[in-house]
Chains A and B, each alone.
Chain A
């Protein structure tokens, strides 16, 4: 696992680094500590990362803009902050977890388990998804997303109005932060359950989900039964 710690206070950064090394052990491939978001952004531009641990209040400044830029990335963002009053807002931006300061090793372990996917999904509360557009970050309301289609290291968000937006996160990472209403139909599709009109089975164990606005999406053979039960 590749980590970046974005924390301006040396002692806190030191504690985070120590815990990360203890928790992840050999699983930790790389760890970089940045004391500012700009420094982190420079590093992220050249290095792939799985999880970013971000302090919301870097050097006393409000970190929501930093958060928007962070959650638009391909990696998971875990907030480590004293500003617990901003936790709900952070979750709505699509962070994976919010670890309040002062933190313990156990709480940080829980955050990493969530990042690994060890903890089953269902806690996702994102209400917005950040997408990069021509050097800026735009927020898309999760309510406007019909389904997401995997596209390699990216995802394509298909919106209710038919518009398509490219998101930096993989489908797996999106699944971790989207609300439980989104269901994995297929290795390449994540669909809002309420958007499914009907399930169709055809010859050769070929299954499809018909969406209310027309399109038909393939349903994985292993997921069909579970999906039918949920829609019943």
Chain B
């Protein structure tokens, strides 16, 4: 990897160095098993002092003794409402209070071990069965809220003794952090009741978003962005569900590692999908490179912290950084919906902070969900614009069909032709039959084309020749059509060359024996047709944009949106019209090259 990338990582994860440094509580450990070690009077001076992060994994039984002290007169006591905030040195410092709502009257233990908990020598709680090996240990539930009896409260010093085994601790680490939190029971219960709310709201929102996206797709909106919105939403719903499950369905501690691993992977997948969604939504170039740029950032995020909650936040931050670059690029290129997305990403980056704090608080859920909804709104706006364009295209197609049919019914052509037919019927009955046959052939060709957006060139040429036959019979002038280099199966908008012939007959005076000429240059991707109308120009000026030309141009726009050319001008002996288009993707919404 290039040095620049390392610099970027350095900037990105600079705050990783801001890990809090704390004083260590009085925490002592001894391997072995003796019921007397629960007594507050037991002399543990010879026990090993450890830090809160040095609990041994896959071990037991062993005992841990923790002293709870009243703060001294100069000590800053924590506010009661911060009981859930992890501030390591203070959490073992407590203040009994006369106020029921603010006093510590319980211990909260997120325990990745089986244990028996003694408070001043009295057994208060038991989780699973402490064992001598993996077989004899029965894993207990992860979370515990242990009430401290009234008669044990008060005084200036207390002893917490925990008998534990950790044979089902299946994280890869050899040591872990265990933290009994002194809490107020009533407040803790209310807090726990609130904990699953935001994840559940996020899950419901995500599922709704996914459902709406799928319904839109079912209704015919085959957009990759919609599929990605649905995929991101489903993955986020799983993510939120995994978060909420801890509070809704308590599980034994051996499931904690698989759950956190799943959360981290799900967030990784969501990050890739979210970046993919932004790339797709803003139609960014080098799509694979954006995702390729995300991969090393995600890999680095996985390594930023051994704590899985923090891994998730780092992953989220890495994703947001790529999203920031993408949204910034989209704003620069004035992509629709880019500015709200950029604002959302910036807010999310400010909110998703990785210092040690409560894991995935409500702002995280709201921000991520808002970001997804912003992008979804942009997709929705795009869908709406696409539907409007489709509706206009349908209207144009209908209008074009009417224009085509009007060519059949154009009064001057039809009534003059009927007048001529009347004369031929009376003057030359056999000739009248041939005349009517020619006329029928033209009408059949036109009728067969109505409703078509593109027809094979051969059918168009048949129509032109049928029309010239009718005109020749009416005017007495024999006018032909010569074709060079045409592919019969090449697709062309219906009646465009017929319209050029009609224009030529009106605006030029072609003598009998003259020929219209069509020269085609068709490849698999492009088509270019040079159409020559013979004859001297009539004295009056050729109109710049008559009905016929408008028809031709509208047909070209309908079939080759923005990817066609049209030019015309006088040439020796007549008038030339040159039409070109890209045949690779007719109707494509991409801009003309």
Chain A contact residues, CB within 8 Å of chain B: 8-12, 14-15, 18, 57, 59-61, 82-85, 100-103
Whether A57 and B412, one on each chain, are in contact in the complex, defined by CB atoms closer than 8 angstroms, is yes
Q: Is B30 an interface residue (CB 8 A)?
A: no
Residues of B within 8 A of A61 (CB): 506, 538, 540
Tell me, yes or no, whether B295 is within 8 Å of chain A by CB: no
Q: Is the CB of B505 within 8 A of A11?
A: no
* B419 proximal to A (CB < 8 A): yes
State whether A83 and B411 are in contact (beta carbons under 8 Å apart), knowing that A11-B420, A12-B416 are contacts in the complex: yes
In the complex, the answer to whether A15 meets B419 with C-beta atoms within 8 Å is: yes
B506, A9: Cβ atoms under 8 Å?
no
Size category, B interface: 20 to 34
Chain A contacts for B523, CB-based, 8 A: none
Known: A59-B505, A60-B505, A60-B507. 10 other contacts (CB 8 A): A15-B419, A15-B422, A15-B426, A59-B509, A60-B502, A61-B506, A82-B411, A82-B415, A101-B418, A101-B419
B 400-413 binary contact with A (CB < 8 Å = 1; else 0): 00000000000110
Q: Are B540 and A14 in contact (CB under 8 A)?
A: no
Q: How far apart are the CA atoms of A11 and B427 in the complex, in Å?
A: 10
Find chain A residues with CB under 8 A from B507 CB. 60
Instruction: State in angstroms the CA–CA spacing of A61 and B505 once bound together.
Output: 10
Which chain B residue has the least Cβ–Cβ distance from A9? B474
Interface centre among A8, A10, A18, A102 (most CB of B within 10 A): A102
Q: What residue in chain A is nearest B506 (Cβ atoms)?
A: A60
B505 proximity list for chain A (CB < 8 A): 59-60
Choose among B412, B419, B475, B509 the residue that contacts A103 (Cβ–Cβ < 8 A): B419
Contact residues of B: prevailing secondary structure:
helix
Contacts of A9 in B (CB 8 A): 416, 419-420, 474-475
Whether the pair B424, A82 counts as a contact (CB closer than 8 A) is no
* A42 CB to nearest B CB, Å: 14
When C-beta atoms are compared, the residue in chain B nearest to A8 turns out to be B475
Give B416's nearest chain A residue, CB to CB.
Answer: A82
14 CB contacts below 8 A, A to B, read A9-B419, A10-B475, A10-B476, A11-B476, A15-B419, A59-B505, A60-B506, A60-B507, A61-B538, A82-B414, A84-B411, A102-B415, A102-B418, A102-B421
Residue B423 lies at the interface, judged by CB distance under 8 Å to chain A: yes
- Chain A residue numbers with a CB within 8 Å of B414 are 82
What distance in Å separates the Cβ of B533 from its nearest Cβ neighbour in chain A?
13
Q: Which of B450-476 contact A (CB under 8 A)?
A: 473-476
> Are A14 and B416 within 8 A (Cβ)?
no
Q: Are B412 and A82 in contact (CB under 8 A)?
A: yes
A108 to chain B, nearest CB (A): 12
B476-488: CB near A (< 8 Å → 1, else 0) gives: 1000000000000
Cα distance, A165 to B419, chains bound together (Å): 40
Question: Which B residues are CB-close (under 8 A) to A18?
Answer: 423, 427
Shortest Cβ distance from B540 into A: residue: A61
Task: Report the Cα distance A82→B420, complex, angstroms.
Answer: 12
Given contacts A11-B424, A59-B509, A59-B538, contact A100 B476 (CB under 8 A): no
Whole-angstrom distance between the alpha carbons of A57 and B540 in the complex?
Answer: 14
B415/A101 in contact, CB under 8 A = yes
Least CB distance, A37 to chain B, in whole angstroms? 11
User: Which of chain A's residues have a CB closer than 8 A to the CB of B502?
Assistant: 60
CA gap between A10 and B473 in the complex, in Å: 9
Query: CB-CB < 8 A to A82: which residues of B?
Result: 411-412, 414-416, 419
Residues of A within 8 A of B506 (CB): 59-61
**Counting chain A CB atoms within 10 Å of each CB, which of B411, B418, B423 scores highest?**
B423
Q: Are B416 and A101 in contact (CB under 8 A)?
A: yes
Contacts of A102 in B (CB 8 A): 415, 418-419, 421-422
In the assembled complex, the CB of A169 is this many whole angstroms from the nearest CB of chain B, namely: 28
- Whether B538 lies near A12 (C-beta < 8 A) is no
Q: State in angstroms the CA–CA spacing of A14 and B427 once bound together.
A: 10
CA A85 to CA B509, docked complex, whole Å: 26
Smallest CB separation, B83 vs chain A (Å): 90
Chain B: CB-nearest residue to A55? B416
Separation in Å of the B435 CB from the closest CB of chain A? 9
A100 to B419, CA, bound (A): 10
When each residue 421-448 of chain B gets 1 if its CB lies under 8 Å from chain A and 0 otherwise, what string results? 1111011000000000000000000000
Nearest chain A residue, comparing its CB with the CB of B508 = A59
Q: A99 → chain B, closest Cβ, in Å?
A: 11
Q: Contact between A12 and B423 (Cβ–Cβ < 8 Å)? A: yes
Q: Which residues of A contact B426 (CB under 8 A)?
A: 15
A39 to chain B minimum Cβ distance, whole angstroms, is 12
Q: How far is the CA of A18 from the CA of B425 in the complex (A)?
A: 14
